[in-house]
Structure 1
């Protein structure tokens, strides 16, 4: 399958981009000034979520396809390239940066699949004790709310869902995702202080900051860790971090992703992580992605699905610095494991998972917060 590299001009969204005819080591080359790139799969754009990484060789973009064949346009701020892809196809090209570095980029098309998962719907005999932020008289959250003028962010919101989406969007806009950078301290105020200095952070930090912002408005929230089915054997990319919040007006837990700025919705009802995975499997057509940034449903679902296997949350979700965190029999977290699945004890080959109690019960994992 040959790329359409004819020295032509490609018109995208009213902007004209040159399609390069240059090659390097026998592969096509496109140029970029910035490290951020967009791509369009079929009719849907994914904007700003791909970071060109010359240090990776190759830098692999996995593209789960929902149809037998799709057109892919990869666009930098200077150039573009187009391919027609089918499941099983792989295409490689280089991105040449201003500093002379070449980023070997690989497009890897796969057929989209989602595995049905089963959980126990019965509550365990003894509930796991979970602690959530009360929100009253919390000086830390009051400082966050005042220092960053968060009341203005939610002004005019008609319900808890709108309030949550506005705060999520605000967090999403504070920095561009950088999966390699860790903050000096892992609390919302410290992270945002480093953001002021121009630093960018991972999905983890989006989850932490968004959780604190929602807690500041009395929406009980918790950072949620996701892990892939092959979490023990894959060396990288086995986890993602986001959050869930309890919406009082709906009386349910709801998933929010600060990195992508999305909330999954089915027939008008926001979904938690388990409900989201079930909707992907059985009701993709009716599934919606609510996003104030206009995130692509196809791109997000394709990307997030492998992570929706193991879920874990902390027992102690209170806000503040220097707190002595509560544990349950020496464990700090609760992991929800699909029925029949292995309880993972290692993260990415070499990092022991010694901090979790395991459960198959969605009733235990999604108990109403006190």
Structure 2
């Protein structure tokens, strides 16, 4: 009997560390030997895009829930956790990386709500400057050196031109959110990408906008920011672009990092229209992508960023230009009616370069286009 009790006690002592590792500070724990993880929303896996970061106070993944609830899985190289999540839910757990560092991870479920913007003012209160592409040496070099005319050759319309160009830029390098080019212009970025460097969303936006401007389609880089932009420690913003399509007479959103154009009822959408369509027409909404980007995965990722929108007043292409500002501010931020005007980015970075508006008329006025720009599109 004593031998049996001793044996059971010894087994419990051996198992105690393993049992203890199932929770940490009252929360579940899963293990990982590498800092990459996959997750699944419903039936779709997102592979290799999640970085386990113990240095963050909490690492938050927002999960869209189109139909009231969804099954969710989080999988490391050696462990996993599964649960059902609903809009408004918050599920927290720790990832123990290499047996040493605990990464607090929070999964937040959210539904889709259409933001409200002012439509009362039809006369814009601000003005923008766009590239006219009149003997612009910088753009001519970009267009000729990278043979951009060949990229869009044979395209039936401006929508197809834009799709081909964003796909071309998407293929020039793999995304790396930690790398920056030596200079922030399209020629430098492409040259360094050719040498093997990888860059952020910012550079996809910069290069795609420049390439579209080079072929005569007015484009502007667009910054997106989460509602929690002031209090989120990491990943509170995303950069993409919008292009003005003359044959449709409207602005259209493009995302070079993901090779995406949102479309509803065969009409390409700008960023605000995209946000509204996610909330009101999810099933009819199309994510058009020449590389096959998943609608579910992209909308889940992008939706939280579709809250604050900002563009520069001066969208000309070139180096060392005297850029237009209004009251010393370089950008206009569109925010929902009743939303706070953010003054800080990711807790510590001053957000002091914007004028603010709630008017879509201010934000989406058509650019002035020269006749020479039109010939560049042929």
**Superposition TM-score tier, normalisation by shorter sequence:** 0.7 to 0.9
Whether the 8 Å contact between 2:62 and 2:300 is mirrored in structure 1 is no
Gaps of 5+ in 1: 1-21
Instruction: Show the 5 A alignment for 1:3-82.
Output: 25-26=21-22, 27-29=29-31, 39-46=39-46, 49-51=49-51, 60-72=60-72, 81=80
Whether the 8 Å contact between 2:115 and 2:336 is mirrored in structure 1 is no
SS in structure 2 opposite 1:108?
A: strand
For the residues of structure 2 that align with 1:152 and 1:251, how far apart are their CA atoms?
24
- The more displaced of 344-353 and 312-321 is 344-353
For the residues of structure 1 that align with 2:292 and 2:48, how far apart are their CA atoms?
12
RMSD of equivalent CA atoms? 2.9
Measure how far apart 1:176 and its partner are.
Answer: 2.1
Residues 5-53 of structure 1, C-alpha deviation per residue, up to 9 Å, x if partnerless? xxxxxxxxxxxxxxxxx99944544666xx7665442233445644455
For the residues of structure 1 that align with 2:104 and 2:150, how far apart are their CA atoms?
42
Choose between structure 1 and 2: higher helix proportion. 2
Residues 300-337 of structure 1, C-alpha deviation per residue, up to 9 Å, x if partnerless? 22222222122111111010111111222322111112
* Aligned pair partner of 2:220 in 216, 222, 228: 222
Measure how far apart 1:251 and its partner are.
Answer: 0.6
Q: Is 1:120 aligned with 2:119? A: yes
Whether the 8 Å contact between 2:31 and 2:79 is mirrored in structure 1 is no
Whether the 8 Å contact between 1:85 and 1:109 is mirrored in structure 2 is no
Inter-CA distance 93–329: structure 2 relative to 1 (3 Å threshold): closer
Whether the 8 Å contact between 2:229 and 2:236 is mirrored in structure 1 is yes
SS in structure 2 opposite 1:246?
A: strand
SS in structure 2 opposite 1:66?
A: coil
Inter-CA distance 309–116: structure 2 relative to 1 (3 Å threshold): same
- The more displaced of 217-226 and 304-313 is 304-313
Whether the 8 Å contact between 1:227 and 1:239 is mirrored in structure 2 is yes
Instruction: Show the 5 A alignment for 1:175-194.
Output: 175-194=173-192
Measure how far apart 1:92 and its partner are.
Answer: 4.8
* Aligned pair partner of 2:325 in 324, 327, 334: 327
For the residues of structure 2 that align with 1:355 and 1:255, how far apart are their CA atoms?
23
For the residues of structure 1 that align with 2:101 and 2:172, how far apart are their CA atoms?
29
For the residues of structure 1 that align with 2:170 and 2:19, how far apart are their CA atoms?
36
Residues 262-302 of structure 1, C-alpha deviation per residue, up to 9 Å, x if partnerless? 11111111111111111122221211111112222222222
- The more displaced of 237-246 and 290-299 is 290-299
Instruction: Show the 5 A alignment for 1:1-370.
Output: 25-26=21-22, 27-29=29-31, 39-46=39-46, 49-51=49-51, 60-72=60-72, 81=80, 83-87=82-86, 88=89, 89-93=91-95, 104=103, 106=105, 108-124=107-123, 127-370=125-368
For the residues of structure 1 that align with 2:117 and 2:38, how far apart are their CA atoms?
36
Inter-CA distance 134–103: structure 2 relative to 1 (3 Å threshold): farther
Measure how far apart 1:209 and its partner are.
Answer: 0.8
- The more displaced of 260-269 and 147-156 is 147-156
Whether the 8 Å contact between 1:119 and 1:361 is mirrored in structure 2 is yes
How many residues of Structure 1 are paired with residues of Structure 2 in the alignment?
342
- The more displaced of 106-115 and 331-340 is 106-115
- Compute the TM-score of the two structures, normalised by the length of structure 2: 0.80
For the residues of structure 1 that align with 2:55 and 2:74, how far apart are their CA atoms?
19
SS in structure 1 opposite 2:184?
A: coil
Residues 134-173 of structure 1, C-alpha deviation per residue, up to 9 Å, x if partnerless? 1232221122122223223222221111111111111112
Residues 91-146 of structure 1, C-alpha deviation per residue, up to 9 Å, x if partnerless? 555576xxx9988584615133435323234234x642211111232221122122
Bigger radius of gyration among the two: 2
